[in-house]
Structure 1
Amino acid sequence: MELGVGMFGDNHYANGKPLPVGKRVQELIEEIKLMDELGLDFYGIGEHHRPDYAVSVPEIILAAAASVTKNIKLGSAVTVLSSADPVRVYQQFATIDQLSNGRAEITAGRGSFIESFPVYGYNLNDYDALFEEKLELLQKINNENPITWKGKFRAALNKQEILPRAVNDQLNIWVAVGGTPESVVRAGKAGLPVIFAIIGGSPVQFQPLFQYYRDVYKHFKHDETKFQVGVHMHCFFGEDSKQVADDYYPYYSAQMDRVGRSRGWPAYQRNQFDFGRSKEGALIIADANEAVDKILQMQELFGLTRFSAHMDVGGPSHAALMKSIEIYGTKIAPKVREALKK
């Protein structure tokens, strides 16, 4: 099972207002460099178009990270493919792949936030149809060159070369899903690896969807040796479980409330946070030993090949994030890997 980090580049706040993004994006590069030095397997950065997130173009962050890392895979988490041009997406990530000697990958999603649609001039009424068509085109570009293609939302391509190409002529493409059967069927039919975002409730509730994905994948007779499935969960690590929870809660709850205000959610409560940290919950905000146990629990529950720790929700301090990454790389990852060898 690969162990890595997913981030959204949550911005820092002062007096209730977001700070300029320059400091946060510079910190991200330092954080990715540390992940690479500690031997974590992959890093993903999200795309958002809101003041509470510092990154709207993951490709720029990943290109910068490629120049200061050696081994870690670098990808999006996610690319909002519905409001992007698949040709440009492939070219950007193929360029990162060349910069990084073959370490780039794409995680495509429909987007749980919708701000990119008006920014790039797309109609939300086409939310599902856009994603289906663009995922099909991205896969075709990844598998063929030159390409001939025709769709509804984009100009046709006729024997068009798409350049540059990835190092091995193909990029790894994952699909991120939030928990709908329709998304699972789409990914399974295409034979693409899936990463499930489990950020609330009880993870055990997702078990039927994982099994459904396996069933669809097998039904379409895809190569089972290439089967990959991952999970993305909110995490934060410290030396003492209670202390890290108490220190992190103000950042976490503030961001839940910022998002919640735009979606009509009630104010986030400490009892939600505490349930999430329990054995039945979806948060891994803990010391190293508790984190190891819960990550292994997720692997046993779902048969994971990838675990992504999303650890910058709410924009905690750079120092706290560096400490969390250090604990993940030096105390958690080695124990998880050793346990999985047995």
Structure 2
Amino acid sequence: MSAPVKLGLDTFGDITVADDGQPVSHAQTIRNVVEQAVVAEETGLSFFGVGEHHRSEFAVSSPEIVLAAIAGRTRDIHVGTAVTVLSSDDPVRVFERFATLDAVSNGRAEVVLGRGSFIESFSLFGYDLADYEILFDEKLDLFSRLMTEQPVTWSGRTRAALENVDVFPKTDAGLKAWVGVGGTPESVVRAARYGYGLMLAIIGGSASRFRPLVKLYHESLDAFGHSGLPVGVHSPGHIAETDEQAWDEAYAGFAAMNDTIGRERGWPAYNRMRFQHDVGPEGALYVGSPETVARKIATTVQTLGADRFDLKFSTGMLSHGHLMRSIELFGTRVAPLVHEFLAEGAPAPRS
């Protein structure tokens, strides 16, 4: 890496619980997300990302609006999505919304484009899952043309054609875009073809499994004539003063979310043994003390040559207070340790 790794946070606006154990309202959760972003900036972090979902477990269905509120409360931290489900949206409207966010944030907007890991938005907005692949292919192609900020002529199967159409507002210096990838080579090559940063969503298994995809991305960038584009990592985690405290605080939320999704997808029930594996060196959860999490992040960054690491810090049952403390620890203690460990050669996480 030619520059120090950038560290950020992602949230899906997970519905948390209050001190009395009752779920917090969607409205209060959104207000809490804004406060969390303010603390992220105060601790010196580089990025705050908000995901898009359309189901009861998550409060944020319109991330750009939340991000605009965050932009109004902050000055330096970059704000963006994690991810924007482009397949079930309109590329013209997505570009317009993010160009507007870029204006109100004074050039701090980023968009991470993806197909999403949930499918509720397809039926909600009238799309057929049978068109899953072509929807993303065509819409990413149109979005890439809009990114030139020149009049666009385009036609395809998934929306009305455009003939020499100009789109507004224009940005001051262009919009930064990434493609979120879950692990398929085709998605990696697609990101390279259009000249977007690669954001790897590593939510299961060891980060080392993604090295071939990073290699493919760089080879594809060369083949398509692009260079200097970043690789990022998005992974879940939680930080507390000690490993044991972090594990105890985080387990219920991870178990509840895995079991909820698992019932829909046929996964086995989650258990503590699996959780302890996932928080270990070969797992995808960055849960523990500041030193434990920093060592694991540093190892991942070094293994993949990543330019940015975003910790998905919110998962279900954790209270707003726990999340705020996790953010503080990430910015004030984890971030300096990551840079220190990378300078020393990124020692392997302790088992």
**Structure 2 length-normalised TM:** 0.93
1:62-211 pair list within 5 angstroms: 62-168=67-173, 170-211=174-215
1:188–1:216 contact (8 Å) kept in structure 2:
yes
**1:187-207 CA deviation, whole Å, 9 max, x = no partner?**
122221111111112222222
Identity over the aligned pairs, expressed in percent? 46
Distance (Å, rounded) in 1 between the aligned partners of 2:115 and 2:57: 20
Give the Cα–Cα distance (whole angstroms) in 2 for the partners of residues 16 and 333 of structure 1.
31
Tell me the amino acid that sits aligned with residue 56 of structure 1: S
C-alpha contact (below 8 Å) 2:16/2:320 kept by paired residues: no
Amino acid at match of 1:267: A
Q: Which digits, 9 at most, give the CA deviation of each residue in 1:5-28, with x for residues without a partner? A: 011111125899854301100100
Partner residue, 2:31: 26
User: How many Å separate the matches in 2 of 1:18 and 1:257?
Assistant: 18
Rounded Cα–Cα distance in structure 1 between residues aligned with 2:27 and 2:317: 14
Q: In the alignment, which residue of structure 2 is the partner of 1:4?
A: 8
CA contact (8 A) 1:18 1:52 kept: no
**Structure 2 equivalent of residue 36 of structure 1:** 41
**Counterpart Cα distance in 2 of 1:333 and 1:78:** 23
SS of 2:113's partner is strand
Partner of 1:249: 251
Question: Residue 61 of structure 1: CA displacement?
Answer: 0.6
Letter in 1 for 2:236: H
User: Which structure 2 segments of 5+ residues have no match?
Assistant: 345-351
The alignment covers a number of residue pairs equal to 339
Shift of 1:217: 1.4
Instruction: Kindly indicate whether the alpha-carbon contact (under 8 Å) linking 1:146 and 1:159 is maintained by their aligned counterparts in 2.
Output: yes
CA contact (8 A) 1:9 1:315 kept: no
> How big is the shift at 1:106?
0.5
Separation in 2 of the partners of 1:315 and 1:61?
A: 21
Amino acid across the alignment from 1:332: V
Alignment equivalent of 1:61, drawn from 52, 60, 66: 66
Q: Shift in Å at residue 341 of structure 1?
A: 5.0
For 2:243 and 2:331, locate their aligned partners in 1 and report how far apart those are by CA, in whole Å.
17
Would you say the 8 A contact 1:94–1:167 is kept in 2? no
Mapped pair 1:275 → 2:277: yes
SS at match of 1:235: strand
Q: Is the 8 A contact 2:82 2:112 kept in 1?
A: yes
Return 211-220 or 17-26, whichever deviates more. Answer: 17-26
Q: Cα distance 1:157–1:56, how it changes in 2: closer, same or farther (>3 A)? A: same
231, 237, 240: which one aligns with 1:238: 240
Contact in 1 for aligned 2:295/2:341 (Cα 8 Å) = no
Q: CA deviation at 1:270?
A: 0.9
CA–CA separation in structure 1 for the residues paired with 2:275 and 2:128: 35
The 3-state SS of whatever aligns with 1:102 is coil
Distance 2:47 2:196 in 1: 18
Secondary structure at the residue paired with 1:67? helix
Distance, in Å, in 1 between the alignment partners of 2:207 and 2:338 is 19
Q: Which residue of 2 aligns with 1:328?
A: 330
Letter in 1 for 2:211: Q
* Residue 286 (structure 1) aligns with: 288
Letter in 2 for 1:9: G
Q: Could you report, residue by residue, the CA deviation over 1:116-156 in whole angstroms, capped at 9, with x for unpaired residues? A: 00111001011111101111111110113222222221111
Alpha-carbon offset, residue 315 of structure 1: 4.2
Name segments (4+ residues, structure 1) moved above 2 Å.
12-20, 337-342
The alpha carbon displacement at 1:337 in A equals 2.6
CA contact (8 A) 2:249 2:318 kept: no
- CA drift of 1:247 comes to 1.8
Range 251-260 or range 332-341, more displaced: 332-341
One-letter amino acid matched to 1:117: F
256-265 or 295-304, larger mean C-alpha shift: 256-265
Looking at structure 2, the residues matched to 147 and 160 of structure 1 have their Cα atoms a distance apart, in angstroms, of: 5
Q: CA deviation at 1:227?
A: 2.0
Q: Summarize the Cα distance change of 1:287–1:321 in structure 2 as closer, same or farther, 3 Å threshold.
A: same
